[in-house]
Amino acid sequence: MGMALVLAGCGGDNSETLSEDVSTIATNNVSSGEELPDVTLSGVDGSQVTTREFVGTPMVINFWYSTCEPCRREMPAFAAAHREFADRVTFIGVNMYDSAIAAANFAERYGVEYEILLDSNGEFVGELGVALAPTTILVDTAGTIVHQESGELTEEEITALINEWFPT
């Protein structure tokens, strides 16, 4: 379903019609090439962690929340990829909406053993322009975002991304 917008100019009949699809939902900003924002996030245990603390090793950061069905489907793939690549890549799960208890229970249910952080005030997703979940970003050792994927990933896709961006 679309909608036509009419923009009227001042003083005369200089109106212009633009078509805009209002059924489109928000999308993520492309953040590849940008520096990872330095924000403070909460651990599910209440600890405070800054994103810059992780700079120095390659990172896979996955944005998710518990009622997101694609997030539920891909979480076991991230848990498995973490088990395979934990010795060379830091995995971080950033929960966008849930309470600490809900996020911790969800991660435990899916076998997640990597750090789960909460972006309770939306600062991190706001800085990055992340509007959709799941979204995954890859960050190099210098703290530069090298790749971004929006949508559900399989274990094979995660493995391919890690091997492409962070080869041994």
Predicted local distance difference test score (pLDDT) of residue 27: 55
Query: Which of 11-25, 49-63, 92-106 shows the lowest per-residue confidence on average (mean pLDDT)?
Result: 11-25
Measure the CA–CA gap between 60 and 64, rounded to whole angstroms. 13
Look at residues 29, 23, 61 and name the one whose alpha carbon lies nearest to residue 132: 29
Q: Which two tokens stand for residue 48?
A: 């405070």
Predicted local distance difference test score (pLDDT) of residue 24: 44
**Contact predicate 151/134, CB 8 Å:** yes
Output DSSP code: residue 9: P
Mean pLDDT of the chain: 86
Phi and psi, residue 156, nearest 5°: -65, -40
Look at residues 150, 152, 161 and name the one whose alpha carbon lies nearest to residue 76: 152
| DSSP secondary structure of 69-96 | HHHHHHHHHHHHHHHHHTTT-EEEEEES
Delineate the domains of the chain, giving CATH numbers in brackets: 26-165 (3.40.30.10)
Predicted local distance difference test score (pLDDT) of residue 155: 97
Q: How many CB atoms lie under 10 A from the CB of residue 158? A: 25
Location of structure tokens 């970003």:
137
Look at residues 103, 83, 86, 132 and name the one whose alpha carbon lies nearest to residue 42: 103
Could you read off the pLDDT of 40-88 as tens digits, one per residue? 999 999 999 999 999 999 999 999 999 999 999 999 999 999 999 999 9
